[in-house]
Structure 1
Amino acid sequence: MSHRTYLYNINTPSIAENADTMMMEWGYEMPLMLQPLLIEGGFISGNNYNNHVEFNDSGLYYHAKPGIENLKRFYDFLEDQPELIENIEKFKAARDKLFNYLDQLDGSYLHLDMWDVLNMEDKPHAEQAKDWMATIAHNNQVITLAMDSGDHSLLNYKALKDVSPAFTSFPKLLNYEDYDYGWTCIWQPYEEESAFEIFEENQLWGLKDKNGAVLLNPQFDEFYNFGPHDLAVVSKNGKFGYVDTTGRIALPLIWDDAFDFEHSGVAVVAMQEKMGLINTDGTQLTPLIYNDLKAIEDGDYFNAKTAELWGVINTSGAVVIHFEHENEIQAGYGFYHIEVTDQKNQKIFNQYFNYLGEFPLQTVENLENGLLLIKPHKGFNFSAIYKKDGTPLIAEFEKIRRETDFPDLLVLKKGKKYGAISRKNEDFVLPCEFDAILDIGIAMKGYKTDMALVQQGDQKGIYDGTAERLSWIIPPDNYQQIMWLDEMVFALQKNQSWCIANLSTNDFSDFAFDLVIRQPGEEGFAYALKAAEVYTITETAIRPTPKAVALEHAGDDYAYHFEYESRKRLLVYGKGKKMEEQQLQDELTDIHTLFELAGEAFLLEDYAQAIRFYTVASEKGYTPAMNNLAHIYYMVKGYEDDQKAFFWYQKGALADNENAMNGLGMCYKSGIGCPVDIDKALYWLNKAADAQLALANNNLGDIYAEDGLIPFNLGKALEHFQAAAKQGEPKYNWLGYLHDSKGDYEKAVEYYQLGADQGNEVSAYNLGILYCYGLGTEKNIASAIAYLELSLDLGYHHAHLELAKIYRNEVGFKDEKKAEAHIKAARAADLEIPEELLTNKNR
């Protein structure tokens, strides 16, 4: 049985309403792609629907509007990561459908109902719900950090909790074809186009076909919706009958009241305040003798009331529960119950209406196949299981082992020992005398089996609990471990050594291997390791593993699948050489962790360690690490290496990393590790700029603004500096200067001001000059002095010359001592003194 999770859009927590919308029905998990919906206002309360067992009634609730906005932000973020998405057109189509669907929801809350999944553990639902709330909050923290940073690499699959084990990375989950970029998660019922229309005219009701042709003229006082048998109740002059979808009066209007036909093909009708059952032909199935009659579930059974007492009848009128109850019967999950006036316990019947006894409702659990579990309660300290006939299969035991998930077997614990029963046979297949009965996931042809690992003392074996063939397929022996590999192939361990047993061919290898591990490859299903060798196990052979395959499985993508020590041995085998422990550790650390360790080392100025971690991550193909490694070789004093800088920038650029493209462009501009080549510099910088990298636009601006270079073009320089400004990295001094040079002084003042406010010394200097001469603003010598002095404070010595000119020439500000002091400071800074200042000195 697949355990389902449900997501609803609702208005009122814990109260089911017709306006509720079921958004999702999914197996075993809350899909990661929809978890960003559950971002705000999380709390736990009773479910809207799965609420029939009070103590297991715990659902999660979140505010809908902020959740929908957050999911839209998540998808927009994913779209901005083009290298992440394999089929961008399919992604956009799925995104548009999802956004359109969400925009039509109008409920205030999102309700996550995991009742079915939470039933898999004995832990109370409320505690499991808290765990899931914490898990979802953690995953949303990871997702939000990635969105805030604009870096999809932060969606590290290992950092996410309780996500599908079918994938090894977020990109693999995202691009899984059947997932349709999350749209598959949304549950949408198929709505067949209606072939008819119930319409009103002059306060009477009739029927039209889908083309508008009248099938039944308006003549009925009431016309109800059509049911599962294409029959609808109609009334006229106080009498009720039925019409079909062709407009035919299928059953005449002869009853005082009539109700919809149930799925069972039976309907309740009334005459002279008594009720009975009819079929779709109008045949009366029961006499009209009941004071009340109500369908139970799909209408195979009915609550019936006579003489003020309730009982249950079937569709032919046969009594299945006698008329002796004050309250009507209620349907539970796989059982029925009747409230007993003034008592907490209720009368419990199984699905065959066999009476079990009076028990608290919350202690009853359906075990499938007609079996019911009664859990411990006041006055009863043990559990009991009842058979289809209502008699106990076992009257006293401690608990069911919930960790097992066999199709038929149930593992029970009694007196510190374990046994197993067959639900199909309603009997024990293994008595309660074993130390352990374990589910190790044995499947045949893709289907789960009832084969169990059974342990007694130091003896272990595999027992086939399939009802038709109860037998030991691996008789108990002193095995240390038994591992199922595939179909009828097992690995058996004795004395720390393993053998491979193919039970379908009765082939057993020697106990020659020191480790056996499952593997996810297409060729084979497990590895057998012997010293430095690795062998692949298939259904028909044990053969040496290709080294390339071992290396692939030692990589980051399979870190989820293999233990560290296994990956280490696969790596050594794949490399074909011995490696130091530190080398092995670095190789086996995932690229995101390596990148983080390198970044931490860089901040601590431990550049040797940063180079080490960045190098390993780069060799694994992680382009951000390539860029950062090249950066160290490009400009960190003591570690410069032009050839290595060029190599890693080029490798990263060819792998479409925009930062590396920028770095490679600057290498070609300056001749770092390569001959100067302005055309190639422009090519790579433009590619980085096309990828919306502000730094690349600024670097292009620098090239076009450099007078000595062939592509000198101040117009293009301004375009790139403006593009970088829009992308959040403005060079205000250059923007000011370029507007200054073409006479747009007001813009120049605006940008110089912004640059000066950011502490740019040249911007402050140029702003001072514009104030001095009244360009783009009113002449203001005081402001000119203030900005020129700011420029000096920031280290720009040319301001001495301009200040000397002011103190020598400007009326109201003349001060020969200050002028001389600035000329002296300029000379000390090795600046050339203009002739006009030298001349004025001699006057």
Structure 2
Amino acid sequence: MKKGILFLILLTSINSYCQNFNIPYRKGNLWGFADKNGKVIISPKYDSVDSRMENFRWKVYKNHKVGIINTAGEERLAVLYDSIEGNPVHSRYNEFYLYNEGKMGYADLNGKIILPLKYYHIEKTRDVNFNLDALFFLVKTNAQDNYCLIDKEEAVLLSGIEEFESDHRGFYKFKINSKWGVYSVPEKKWIIPAVYDTFKRFELEGQQPKKEFENIHHYAVKNKAFYLFSIEYLMIPSKLKKLSDFFELKKDSNRNVMEYMVHDDRGVEGHYESVCGEKFQEGNRYETNGIDWIDIKTIWIKKEGKLYGMVFSNGRTNIDYPAEFEDIQLLKSNYQNYYYKDFAMVKKHDKWAIYSINERKTIGPYEYDSFDFHIKYTDYLVLKKENQMGLFQIYGYRNREKPVFIAPEYDALKGYELLKSLDYNYDLFEVFYFSKKGKICPVGRNGISYYED
């Protein structure tokens, strides 16, 4: 049993180590992709790349055109199109709408052209099987045309469609010759003939169906008479004359007030607090709590001459830190009454450094002019040095890795993204997009720079 557990742990560790990512990589003014360790895997040759993927496909751009590449960098769709729009079919497959010079086409995941670029508008129909075996499309060649229903060979199954509305399992409401009916696209036949003046979902704003009509999903009107239909489009007789006769005012059941709580965007997560100089108080206790909310500890500040130190308690023993700092700033949550237990900011020779309380040492040299919590990304400190900025994360992502530390050598932080791994485990990797001298500079949570100048 122990051997089995050990094997599982080793397998999990190997899988985590082997997971890889396609991370945008810039060389000069051209873009490609690198792996997590910064090794270039797709040579920079594009004007721009899209970091977001759809089923291991990425958009790439050159000369104001767009194409699609796969994980290996192969162009599944050449960089020839004005625009490409992804059409997710399910979680492991998607297709693409293609646009060029005012015309539309359609391609599959591997870049095979299903419909050529000759249509004014294309909409792929939907059914319960994702249309993986039989593909059907609603198309029009010119703006003034009606829609036609065609298959992947472009054979016309139905024409003269003035309007349409998708329902479930491949059922479509079609309007032909000013009359509505219901058509089953997979079966290629009418379920309800197009003879009705209107055909709509059974609903009325602000009201709910009366009990005897709870199973009604659609209604139609013909010659001012109402016709009711179930979800499977079975007709249910009725003699009522007005839509309001089928409905009544909504009645809410009692609910716990907590169900109505709104989770707001809290903004800045924390702040820093000086505990030295005028703020110093002998014997003051500062209660701390980490991300696990279990191991509560306490910090005392001591003073020897003009310098300050810390005494750290885990509830069983006290650990005495030397008095060597000109100033100490403890980091505190804005929303819980505790101080962060792992890190503090300390000052020496008029410069700041990050101090690891657990390791009893600074992380890097004393070199920062100032610091502050980032206004948007919670738990991140902005480190400033000579008008340049860097980042430090108080806790690692999901508490599994070391905190992010990016040295201050950038003008600004433009954005932040979680990239998915190149497998269906969809592990996540943080990439930060800084600007430097007018250029975008991607940097990973591991500190690796994905650019060259």
TM-score (norm 1): 0.19
| Larger RCO, structures 1/2 (Cα 8 Å, 6+ apart) | 2
Computing the radius of gyration over CA atoms, which structure comes out larger, 1 or 2?
Answer: 1
When the two structures are superposed, what TM-score results if normalisation uses the length of structure 2? 0.33
